Amino acid sequence: MPENQPANLVVVDNLRKTYGATVAVEDVSLTVRAGEIFGILGPNGAGKTTTVESIAGLRTPDAGTIRVLGLDPQRHRGEITSLVGVQLQASELPDRIKAGEALELYASFYPSPADPADLLERLGLTKVRNTAFAKLSGGQQQRLSIALALIGNPKIAILDELTTGLDPQARRDTWELVKQIRDDGVTIILVTHFMAEAEYLCDRIAIIDGGRVVALDTPAGLVAGARSEQRISFRVAGVLEDDTILSSLPAVHDVRHEGDRIVVTGNDDLLVSVVTELAGRGLAPVDLHTEQASLDDVFLALAGRDFEGADR
Ligand SMILES: Nc1ncnc2c1ncn2[C@@H]1O[C@H](COP(=O)(O)OP(=O)(O)OP(=O)(O)O)[C@@H](O)[C@H]1O
């Protein structure tokens, strides 16, 4: 990190933004640290895009303050455009523009752009540089939109729903690319409504719901805070005649049957205590799974509804 670069590249305090009667962002505060992949996760309509567009200076807040490397994005639009690269939505590029031309064109807008040929190479687009945008595959279009976010040599790249519509392999490839970009020194703000994407990629995540930050932590911190319960599931070789054998154990909170499997939840001692009890009765758990809490559980705990159900 250069000496004059602050540890917090982006500081948002009490951001509020309305569109007529619609409150898009009610009250959002967050900081993005230099060198991290910062996730903004939330269901459709939560206010994610409005938040990042405000950081990029593309929206005028109704209230609150935003500082990007100490600058107000509204008052320093020129500098912010160079400092913050924003991934274009695919629909914003003309169908017939060639991949290489698009990069050359966007490079011409910046005072010290990256070399378009280098970027094409890094993003695996060299062989399609003369291919029209509309003829590129979904993954190639997405990589081009990432290249366009990076062409101005920004300090911060905002990537919004970058893997929507991609097949699993292209999504994985894009994830690796995002990590490389971070490793090259670009701080990344990643907007997503995919839990798995946020969990895999992000150093820290702000979960936004209804225009507010409802949680902000590392993925592991969010998960640890959400559920202290353990869950195991297994089949029994032999006959478990009575559930109370398990439900009466102090470590066990709940025993359920799902098909031929038994699902038991309880505290930290759950696994040892259930296995020991079964073994004492000559029963062996088979095909035993221990289940980790996920970001879905975090959202459920915070919002009282599940994440997919929250999507409109
Ligand atoms: N330009 C606009 N004019 C009017 N309403 C808007 C505008 N942009 C966003 N909204 C509304 O503001 C709310 C928040 O939208 P925003 O796009 O910020 O959310 P989001 O979390 O990014 O959702 P999505 O994933 O669907 O883009 C939504 O109700 C949306 O309909």
Kindly provide the ipTM of the predicted complex, given to two decimals.
0.95
Instruction: Report how far ligand 1's centroid is from the alpha carbon of 164 (Å).
Output: 17
More confident residue, 168 or 131: 131
Q: Is the pLDDT of residue 311 over 60?
A: no
One-letter amino acid of 59: R
The partner residues of 15 in beta bridges, in order of sequence, read: 28
Parse the chain into domains and list their residue ranges. 8-224, 228-292
Residue 246 phi, psi dihedral angles, 5° rounding: -90, -45
Q: What is the pTM of this model?
A: 0.80
Ligand 1 pocket test target in 25, 48, 50 with most atoms within 8 Å of CB:
50
Residue 163 phi, psi dihedral angles, 5° rounding: -110, 10
For the domain spanning 8-224, the CATH number is 3.40.50.300
Q: What is the mean pLDDT of residues 179-190?
A: 93
Instruction: Report how far ligand 1's centroid is from the alpha carbon of 49 (Å).
Output: 7
Helix or strand holding residue 311 (H, E): none
Fold match flag (8-224 vs 228-292)? no
Round to whole Å and give the CA distance between 207 and 24. 15
Ligand 1 pocket test target in 26, 49, 193, 197 with most atoms within 8 Å of CB:
49
The pLDDT value given to residue 294: 73
The pLDDT value given to residue 298: 76
Answer yes or no: is the C-beta of 50 below 6 A from any ligand 1 atom: yes
Answer yes or no: is the C-beta of 89 below 6 A from any ligand 1 atom: no
CATH 3.40.50.920 at 228-292, yes or no: no
Q: What is the pLDDT of residues 61-107, one digit of tens each?
A: 999 999 999 999 999 998 999 999 998 665 678 889 999 999 999 99
CB 26, CB 211: distance < 8 Å:
yes
